[in-house]
Amino acid sequence: MDAQVSRSPRRLIALSLLAAVAACLPTLGANLAHAAGYRTVNFTVDAPTPQLAKEIGDSAEVWRRDLAKEWLGKELPRWSQPCPIKATVAPHLGAGGATSFVFNQGQVYDWRMNIQGSRERVLDSVLPHEITHTIFATHFRQPLPRWADEGACTTVEHHSEIQKQERMLIDFLKTKRGIRFDEMFAMTEYPADVLPLYAQGHSLSQFLISQRGKQVFLNFLADGMRTNDWRAAIQSHYEYEHLLSLQNSWMDWVRAGRPPLQLVGGGGTMLASAQVPAPAQQSVSNGASATITPTPNPVGNVAARPQSVYGESTNWVPARNSQPVTSTAGYESGRPIMMSGGRENVMR
């Protein structure tokens, strides 16, 4: 039976405003009227100008190749039919996109992608996000959990877009819109309040990827989807006793300012992350408890130090089932919240 899956409802909100924006921006309307086409091996592009169509098409192929290698360790095979990309580009247009495709008897096809935004955000955020959806669909050949699909795809966006998710996450936690992990892991459809799912899904995806890398993250998802036993999957791949212990550890990490995590290989072996480090996070006051300060690793060659996208290496270690889980995080009816008095350090 066919199953068509539409992605990125957050971005669809932006796309729904396109008609109003076009009416208010004559330049955008003129660009739409003079759309140009370009074709690559795996994509056909409809964009405002021939130059932009070529730039988007060539970039799409590069992202498809490089992201597949990054996530899967190999390039994807050529699709049987190219994916049409409809691009709407204007300097002040909000970044957004939506991709749909069909799963049928282990096959995936009928790709369709709509993207919009400024030239910069289309090329460095919207395209990689949407193309990562197609990589996951090609690899798994079934829908992923909503939090993991959107969350992992957001990790490849430009840091300016990721910063928006980071800021929104704190707002959602402070306003009691956080999602219990047992509820979030069970979601097969987008909730009515979808934006917290994006922000929380991205944060948890980054939390897990930073600990064990992308391949372990994908193996974890594969096992969880195969058995529908997420407790067993999180125990096997990340050594958390259950989803609540994962939720507690993640919340403490968020409250600590999301310090960089040491990438760990099989058997607990420490590995150096291939990620380029960003400026280190500062300490964050933890409300009723003491201040938590990430401590830099004082030893070892700089090139060999474990690193993550969140900053320089630290000795901050997530609490797992082998340690008592005494979270400083706040909860209401099991939902993660930011307790009053706390403040959050967000990447700038």
On the question of pLDDT at 281 being above 90, the answer is no
Claim to verify: residue 107 and residue 234 sit in the same structural domain: no
Average pLDDT over residues 82-111: 94
Which of 129-133, 159-163, 230-234, 257-261 has the least mean pLDDT? 257-261
Chain-wide mean pLDDT for the chain?
Answer: 76
Same domain for 328 and 185, yes or no, is: yes
Model confidence at 134: pLDDT above 60: yes
CB 198 within 8 A of CB 162: no
Is 283 within a domain?
no
**pLDDT higher than threshold 60 for residue 248:** yes
Of residues 194 and 270, the one with the higher pLDDT is: 194
Statement to judge: residues 19 and 136 lie in one domain: yes
Domain count, the chain: 2
End of a domain among 115, 143, 171? 143
- Output the pLDDT for position 9: 47
Q: Find the domain containing 27 and state its range.
A: 3-143
Q: 36-83: per-residue pLDDT in tens?
A: 799 999 999 999 999 999 999 999 999 999 999 999 999 999 999 999
- Better-scored residue on pLDDT, 39 or 331: 39
CA distance 318 to 315: 10
Q: What is the pTM of this model?
A: 0.73
The mean pLDDT value for 336-346 works out to 39
Q: Do 79 and 130 share a domain, yes or no? A: yes
Q: Cα separation of 314 and 296, whole Å?
A: 4
DSSP annotation of 144: P
Are 109 and 168 contained in the same domain? no
Whether 301 is covered by a domain: the verdict is no
- Evaluate whether residue 276 is within a structural domain: no
For residue 61, CA distances in Å to 2, 54, 58 come to 27, 11, 5
Q: What is the 3 state secondary structure string of 296-308? A: ECCCCCHHHCCCE
The predicted pLDDT at position 263 comes to 82
CATH (domain of 98)? 3.40.30
| Same domain flag for 37 and 130 | yes
Amino acid 311: pLDDT: 37
- Residue 278: is its pLDDT beyond 50? no
Per-residue pLDDT for 228 more than 60? yes
Res 18 pLDDT > 60? no
Asked if pLDDT for residue 159 goes beyond 70, the answer is yes
One domain, residues 241 and 122: no
pLDDT digits (tens, 9 = 90+) for 29-43: 444 444 679 999 999
Q: What 3-state DSSP class applies to 67?
A: helix
11 and 127: one domain? yes
Residues 6+ apart with CB under 8 A from 96: 8, 10, 11, 12, 13, 14, 15, 115, 116, 117, 126
pLDDT, residue 327, reads 42
pLDDT tens digits for range 164-205 = 999 999 999 999 999 999 999 999 899 999 999 999 999 999
Q: Quick check: 142 pLDDT over 90? A: yes
In a domain, 81, yes or no: yes
Same domain for 12 and 136, yes or no, is yes
